[in-house]
């Protein structure tokens, strides 16, 4: 029990880390609603947990009154099943796929640029779909946000991993030099 009864337990506090993790989780679930339409060559586990929750999210949209999301969900199931059947075992199991649609856009011929272009593609397609069905259009348009968040986080994580690898290389080189007796500055 806490010494101070007015103090809330640490589990009840909203933290920056908890907020970030929730944002990441929500973006991953929503992006899983979009990936099967835009990508190919996913890893075997890319849609496993997030795909199941994406399905639940789309059903919640239907339950909230967006009946046209039922058609979107049906088409999504077909594309997601196709993606799972053609999962690329040579990729990382959680690889979310190669941007096979966006890479065809002139000026976006690398994977990094094409993944950034997917955000604009979602925005553009969402705008086109909105007059036909507002709910589906907005849902696709929000893909701009979820895919953008995930791509930004992924790039930052890669940058940090490379920095840590470089630091580890420097540290190991220094230790090896000390071990060989080439350094005496310790």
CA atoms within 13 A on the CB side of 151: 21
Cα 101 from Cα 78, distance rounded (Å): 17
- Within a domain: residue 6? no
Structural domain range at position 134: 18-179
Which residues are paired to 98 by β-bridges? 40
Question: How many domains does one find in the chain?
Answer: 1
- Within a domain: residue 4? no
Per-residue pLDDT of the chain (186 residues; tens, 9 = 90+): 455 655 555 566 778 888 899 999 999 999 999 999 999 999 999 999 999 999 999 999 999 999 999 999 999 999 999 999 999 999 999 999 999 999 999 999 999 999 999 999 999 999 999 999 999 999 999 999 999 999 999 999 999 999 999 999 999 999 999 999 998 876
pLDDT at 14: 78
Which residues are paired to 40 by β-bridges? 98
- Within a domain: residue 142? yes
- Within a domain: residue 1? no
pLDDT at 141: 97
Listed in sequence order, the residues at least 6 apart from 56 whose beta carbon sits closer than 8 Å to its beta carbon are: none
- Within a domain: residue 185? no
Which element (helix H / strand E) includes 179? Answer: helix 143-179
**How far apart, in Å, do the first and last CA atoms of the chain sit?**
47
Listed in sequence order, the residues at least 6 apart from 24 whose beta carbon sits closer than 8 Å to its beta carbon are: 149, 150, 153
């Amino acid at each position: 029990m806490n010494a101070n009864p007015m103090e809330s337990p640490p589990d009840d506090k909203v933290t920056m880390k908890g907020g970030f993790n929730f944002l990441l989780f929500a973006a991953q679930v929503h992006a899983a609603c979009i990936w099967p339409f835009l990508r190919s060559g996913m890893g075997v586990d890319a849609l496993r947990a997030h795909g199941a929750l994406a399905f639940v999210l789309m059903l919640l949209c239907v339950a909230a009154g967006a009946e046209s999301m039922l058609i979107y969900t049906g088409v999504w199931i077909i594309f997601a099943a196709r993606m799972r059947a053609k999962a690329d075992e040579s990729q990382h199991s959680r690889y979310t796929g190669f941007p096979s649609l966006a890479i065809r856009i002139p000026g976006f011929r690398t994977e990094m640029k094409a993944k950034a272009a997917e955000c604009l593609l979602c925005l553009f397609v969402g705008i086109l779909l909105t007059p036909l069905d507002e709910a589906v259009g907005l849902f696709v348009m929000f893909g701009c946000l979820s895919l953008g968040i995930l791509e930004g986080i992924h790039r930052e994580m890669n940058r940090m991993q490379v920095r840590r690898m470089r630091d580890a290389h420097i540290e190991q080189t220094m230790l090896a030099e000390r071990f060989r007796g080439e350094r005496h500055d310790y």
